[in-house]
Amino acid sequence: MKPQQMVTLQAKAVESPNTPDPWDWRGAIMAVLPPLMGLGLLVGIWTLVSLGTASSIPTPLETAKQAIELFSDPFYRKGPNDQGVGWNVLMSLQRVAMGFGLAAAVGIPLGFVIGRFEFLGRMFNPLISLLRPVSPLAWLPIGLLVFKGANPAAIWTIFICSIWPMVINTAVGVQRVPQDYMNVARVLNLSEWKIVTKILFPAVLPYMLTGVRLAVGTAWLVIVAAEMLTGGVGIGFWVWDEWNNLNVKNIIIAIFVIGIVGLVLEYLLIKIATAFTFEEVKS
């Protein structure tokens, strides 16, 4: 091979990795275009409905102007029940965090016990099958009766609706741990604590995080309805208060706020679950 040809081949080998891939632009466009088209379709339908005959629904432009004004000061305080949308969202998130935290503290260990011991699984399965289908709001009057307050009743409702996904997914994860793992634990004569911490917990973690993600989504859905019934400060009560004031613009803004917060929570939990998800290597 001549020196000139060798230099040319080396130059091509060096330049080829830096050559832009023409498919990258197409992939980026296809990743962005469908969501934008979906949003455009939503705005188009919204505009047609708002411009309809005798429609009391504001147009997207009117709602956007109201949103700019509303979010110019989201943390104002003019009284105990007259606070900015930011405070209402934070109060709802606080209730969700408290109810969900209690549910995780009870539901995850209970799921481990149900999945680990067959007798206890048979004992609790009928109770779970009986109570899980009950509407979360059906538990709200019980919370008001027992706790004598709207705030603890709302937290109780979050607790009772978010505990079931964590219990069920954790129990299923424990039951699906390969029997070979447990056989090794018996051979090594491991204690129950080491079996849980060294074998069960790492294997069950993806299932557990799936239950956590489902529970948080359910909790965020329920808190809005619970706050509408209990009152006080919260995004659900804020929606109901704006309805009483016939402020449809703020109601639509609240719908988007609720959706965006739920989307952010879902995204964060998916990222956490992805970090701890593994694939079994098949021989």
Domains in the chain: boundaries: 3-57, 85-275
Residue 194 carries which side chain, given as an amino acid letter? Answer: K
Average pLDDT estimate for 203-216: 89
pTM (2 d.p.): 0.78
Q: How far is CA 274 from CA 42, 47, 74, 216, 265, in A?
A: 30, 38, 33, 16, 14
Tens of pLDDT, residue by residue over 137-192, are 899 999 999 998 888 999 999 999 999 999 999 999 988 888 888 888 888 888 88
Contacts of 75 (CB under 8 A, 6+ apart): 83, 84, 86, 87
Q: Under CATH, what is the fold of the domain 85-275?
A: MetI-like fold (1.10.3720)
% of the chain at pLDDT higher than 90 = 26
The CA distance from 32 to 11, in Å, is: 36
Which residues are bridge partners to 77 per DSSP? Answer: 83
Tens of pLDDT, residue by residue over 81-100, are 778 888 999 999 999 999 99
